[in-house]
Amino acid sequence: MSDKIQHSESTLWVISRHYRMKNEHEKMDTRPSYIVSLFKHKCSRCRTGDMFQTNKVYHLKEFMKMNVRCPACGQLLEIEPGFYYGTSYVSYALTVALSVATLVAWWVTIGLSTTDNRFFWWLGINGVVLLLCQPYLMRLSRSIWLSFFVKYNANWLTEKAEEPERM
């Protein structure tokens, strides 16, 4: 009996959440921003559900634990086994871009010279910056990688998420 009550309570919760989210979505006349959803690590199909179980980027034991499905739209977040191996290329590109940005900022503000150690100071500071930014960059690379393969669906409330074939 208690199983039936728990099941009906969870069903009511899902239905009420669906209508509440639908009303919130109808209030927003525009689609959620692609860039903002990437930087906030949201599902690329609905751009509202969180990809990761925790929002704490620097909680190093749990910062990469992902939801199996998007809590908002039900999109499977790991489309196939080993899906996120490609994020290493995205993470590499983000790291290089950040290093180039810090080099340009260093060059403009402090300058580069071959007669003193300013370049080596930049190398050390850039290494520390990259080390501190790496957890966030790893999450961002997963968000970007997923957005390459799962496109935004304006009708995500009414259309079911596509189920990939798995072997």
Exposed/middle/buried for 26, CB within 10 Å: 0-12, 13-18, 19+? exposed
Cα 129 from Cα 150, distance rounded (Å): 31
Q: What's the pLDDT tens digit per position in 100-151? A: 999 999 999 988 887 888 888 999 999 999 999 999 999 999 999 999 998 8
Contact indicator for 90, 141 with CB cutoff of 8 Å = yes
Residue (of 140, 153, 155, 130) closest to 36 by Cα position: 140
Structure tokens at 50: 């969180």
Alpha-carbon distance of 51 to 69, in angstroms, equals 8
DSSP string, 34-102: HHHHHHTTB-TTTS-SBSBS-S-TT-TTTTTPBPSB-TTT--BSS-STTGGGGHHHHHHHHHHHHHHHH
Nearest CA among 142, 13, 24 for reference residue 87: 142
Tell me the whole-structure pTM to 2 decimals.
0.74
80-101, pLDDT tens digit by residue? 888 889 899 999 999 999 999 9
pLDDT in tens, 71-81: 988 888 888 88
Average pLDDT over residues 2-16: 47
Largest CA distance in the chain: 81
Residue 135 and residue 106: Cα distance in Å, rounded? 23
Mean pLDDT of 156-167: 76
Strand partners, 76: 69
